[in-house]
Structure 1
Amino acid sequence: IPDASARLLALEVGEVLGIEYPNPADFDRIRGNKDLTLLSEPGMNVGYMAMNSGYGYMDENQNGIRDPNEGLVKTPGYYEPLTKKKVRQAINHSIDKKSIVDNLYMGTASVAKNGMPPFMLGYNDDVEDYAYDPARAKQLLEEAGYPDGFEVTLHVMPVSRPYMFDPPKIGEAIQAYLAAVGIKVNFYQVDWGTYLQETEEGKHQMCLLGWTGDNGDPDNFMNVLYGPNATSIGTAGNYGFYTDEKAQELLSAALATFDTNERAKYYREAQVMIHESANWVYLAHSNQNAVFHKSVKGYRLHPTSRKFFYPVRID
Structure 2
Amino acid sequence: MRLAALPLLLAPMLYPLWAQAATTLSVCTEASPEGFDVVQYNSLTTTNASADVLMNRLVDFSAQEGKVVPSLAESWDISADGLTYTFKLRSGVKFHHTEYFTPTRDLTAQDVVFSFQRMLDPANPWHKIAQSGFPHAQSMQLPALIKNIEAPETLTVRFTLDHPDSTFLATLSMGFASIYSAEYTAQLLKAGTPEKLNSQPIGTGPFVFRRFQRDAVVRYAANPDYFDGKPGVDALVFAITPDANVRLQKIRQNECQIALSPKPLDVQAASADAKLNVVKNAAFMTAFVAINSQHPPLDKPEVRQAINLAFDKNVYLKAVFEGSAVAANGVYPPNTWSYAKNLPGYAHDPAKARALLAKAGFKDGFKTTIWTRPSGSLLNPNPGLGAQLLQDDLAKVGITAEIKVIEWGELIRRAKAGEHDLLFMGWAGDNGDPDNFLTPQFSCAAVTSGTNFARYCDKDLDKFISDGKAGSDQAQRSALYLKAQTQIQQQALWLPLAHPTATALTRKDVQGYQVSPFGRQDFSHVTLK
Q: TM-score, normalised by structure 1?
A: 0.88
State the SS of the aligned residue for 1:229: helix
Q: What's the offset of the Cα at 1:125?
A: 1.6
2:477 corresponds to 1:263:
yes
Cα distance in structure 1, aligned partners of 2:289 and 2:378: 15
Q: What's the offset of the Cα at 1:85?
A: 1.0
Task: Compute the RMSD of aligned alpha carbons.
Answer: 1.4
Equivalent pair of 1:162/1:305 in contact (CA under 8 Å): no
Equivalent pair of 2:391/2:400 in contact (CA under 8 Å): yes
Equivalent residue for 1:106?
Answer: 322
Equivalent pair of 1:162/1:212 in contact (CA under 8 Å): no
Which residue identity is paired with 1:9?
Q
Equivalent residue for 1:294?
Answer: 508
Between the two structures, name the one with larger relative contact order (CA 8 Å, sep ≥ 6).
Answer: 1
Which residue identity is paired with 2:349?
D
State the SS of the aligned residue for 1:83: coil
Equivalent residue for 1:33?
Answer: 273
Q: What's the offset of the Cα at 1:167?
A: 2.0
Determine which of 442, 449, 455 is the counterpart of 1:241: 455
Structure 1 window deviating more from structure 2 (249-258 vs 154-163): it is: 154-163
State the SS of the aligned residue for 1:145: coil
Which residue identity is paired with 2:347?
A
Equivalent residue for 1:225?
Answer: 441
State the SS of the aligned residue for 1:231: helix
Structure 1 window deviating more from structure 2 (37-46 vs 291-300): it is: 291-300
Structure 1 window deviating more from structure 2 (126-135 vs 158-167): it is: 158-167
Which residue identity is paired with 2:525?
P
Determine which of 150, 164, 173 is the counterpart of 2:366: 150
State the SS of the aligned residue for 2:447: coil
C-alpha distance after superposition, 1:33-73 (max 9, x if no partner)? 1111111211000010011011xxxxxxxxxxxxxxxxxxx
Equivalent residue for 2:5?
Answer: none
Q: What's the offset of the Cα at 1:168?
A: 2.1
Equivalent residue for 1:192?
Answer: 408
C-alpha distance after superposition, 1:110-136 (max 9, x if no partner)? 101111112212221221010111111
Alignment of 1:142-181 (within 5 A): 142-181=358-397
Equivalent pair of 2:276/2:505 in contact (CA under 8 Å): yes
Which residue identity is paired with 1:209?
M
- Segments of 5+ residues of structure 2 without an aligned counterpart are 1-240
Equivalent residue for 1:15?
Answer: 255
Which residue identity is paired with 2:524?
Y
C-alpha distance after superposition, 1:230-285 (max 9, x if no partner)? 111xx311101122211111111011112221111100011111101112100001
Cα distance in structure 1, aligned partners of 2:399 and 2:246: 33
Structure 1 window deviating more from structure 2 (277-286 vs 34-43): it is: 34-43
C-alpha distance after superposition, 1:156-178 (max 9, x if no partner)? 02343332222222112111211
2:246 corresponds to 1:6:
yes
Equivalent pair of 1:45/1:162 in contact (CA under 8 Å): no
Cα distance in structure 2, aligned partners of 1:167 and 1:93: 21
- Segments of 5+ residues of structure 1 without an aligned counterpart are 55-77
Select the structure of larger CA radius of gyration.
2
2:423 corresponds to 1:207:
yes
Equivalent residue for 1:83?
Answer: 299
Equivalent pair of 2:378/2:500 in contact (CA under 8 Å): yes
Equivalent pair of 1:116/1:221 in contact (CA under 8 Å): yes
Cα distance in structure 1, aligned partners of 2:524 and 2:409: 29
State the SS of the aligned residue for 1:290: strand
Equivalent pair of 1:164/1:286 in contact (CA under 8 Å): no
Cα distance in structure 2, aligned partners of 1:169 and 1:146: 27
Equivalent pair of 1:86/1:141 in contact (CA under 8 Å): yes
Q: What's the offset of the Cα at 1:87?
A: 0.8
Which residue identity is paired with 1:296?
V
2:339 corresponds to 1:123:
yes
Equivalent pair of 2:320/2:381 in contact (CA under 8 Å): no
Determine which of 179, 182, 200 is the counterpart of 2:398: 182
Determine which of 275, 284, 292 is the counterpart of 1:52: 292
Cα distance in structure 2, aligned partners of 1:108 and 1:283: 13
Which residue identity is paired with 1:137?
A
Structure 1 window deviating more from structure 2 (293-302 vs 214-223): it is: 293-302
Which residue identity is paired with 1:258?
S
Equivalent pair of 1:93/1:133 in contact (CA under 8 Å): yes
Determine which of 284, 305, 314 is the counterpart of 2:519: 305
Equivalent residue for 1:251?
Answer: 465
Equivalent pair of 2:415/2:453 in contact (CA under 8 Å): yes
Equivalent residue for 2:308?
Answer: 92
Identity over aligned pairs, percent: 32
Equivalent pair of 2:262/2:378 in contact (CA under 8 Å): no
2:488 corresponds to 1:283:
no
Cα distance in structure 2, aligned partners of 1:306 and 1:40: 13
How many residues were matched structurally?
A: 289
Q: TM-score, normalised by structure 2?
A: 0.53
